[in-house]
Amino acid sequence: MSEQVIRAGKVVYITYSVLDEHGNIFGQQDMPTGYVQGGNSGLFASVERALEGKREGDQVEARVPPEEAFGDPDPNLIINDDMENLPPMLRSVGAQAEMQNDAGDVLTFRVVEIQDGKVTLDGNNPLAGKPCIVAATVVSIRDATAEEMRNGFPVEQGAPRIH
C-alpha cells in the first residue's frame, strides 16, 4: 500500500456507488475511475472534499446536495400523454425508453405514474432535486503530470463523471 495522501495535484482512482437517502443504489462503478484532486475533473466537490487527506484503501461517504449533483427537476422533461398513444412497452410504471430531442440529445424517460388512462413520463435524473450519497473507496494515488493537471483527469483515461 502506498503512503501517498490525497491532496491537490494527485491522480486518484476510486470505485464508488451513488445512493439515494434511503440507501438505494442508483449507480455503481466497480472499475477504478480516475480524477485529479483539485483539477476541475467534474467530480462532485463534496466528494472531492471528503477524499482530501485519505490514503489507499480508505472509504468515505459524502452527502451531495441537489444543486451540486443532479440539480432541480426540469418540468419540460415531464410528459403526460394518453396511454393509447404510447407503445405497449411504455404502459407500466418503471418502464423506460430513450428519446431524442430536436438538438439530437438522447434522454432516458421513465414511466413514473399511470392514472385514469394517462401516463406520466419523466426524463429527469431520478435523483434530480434530491440529495444523494456517494460511497467511495480509494484504490490508488499517484502524482499528476502537468498535462493531467491541465485536463483534470488521468491521461490514460477519458474524463470521469459521477452520474
pLDDT at 93: 94
Residue 99: per-residue pLDDT: 85
**Whole-number Å distance between alpha carbons of 62 and 40:** 18
User: By percentage, how much of the chain surpasses pLDDT 90?
Assistant: 77
Residue 1 scores a pLDDT above 60: no
Looking at the structure, do residues 62 and 17 belong to the same domain, yes or no? yes
**What was the pLDDT predicted at 2?**
57
pLDDT of 153 strictly over 90: no
Q: What is the pLDDT of residue 3?
A: 84
State pLDDT tens for residues 127-145. 999 999 999 999 999 999 9
Are residues 65 and 15 part of one domain?
Answer: yes
pLDDT-derived band at 40 (thresholds 50, 70, 90) equals: confident
Cell digits of residue 48 = 472531492
pLDDT at residue 162 greater than cutoff 50: no
How far from 11 is each of 19, 69, 85, 140, 160, CA to CA, in Å? 24, 22, 50, 8, 12
- The better pLDDT of the pair 39, 1 is held by 39
Q: Are residues 19 and 87 in the same domain?
A: no
Q: What is the pLDDT of residue 157?
A: 53
Average pLDDT over all residues of the chain: 91
> Which tens digit of pLDDT belongs to each residue from 100-117?
888 888 889 999 999 999
3-state SS assignment for residue 134: strand
CATH of residue 60? 3.10.50.40
- pTM for the structure as a whole: 0.78
Over 80: is that where the pLDDT of 89 sits?
A: yes
Flag whether pLDDT at 124 surpasses 50. yes
- Number of domains making up the chain: 2
Same domain, 25 and 103: no
Residues 84 and 43 in one domain: no
Residue 120, judged by CB atoms within 10 A of its CB (0-12, 13-18, 19+), counts as: middle
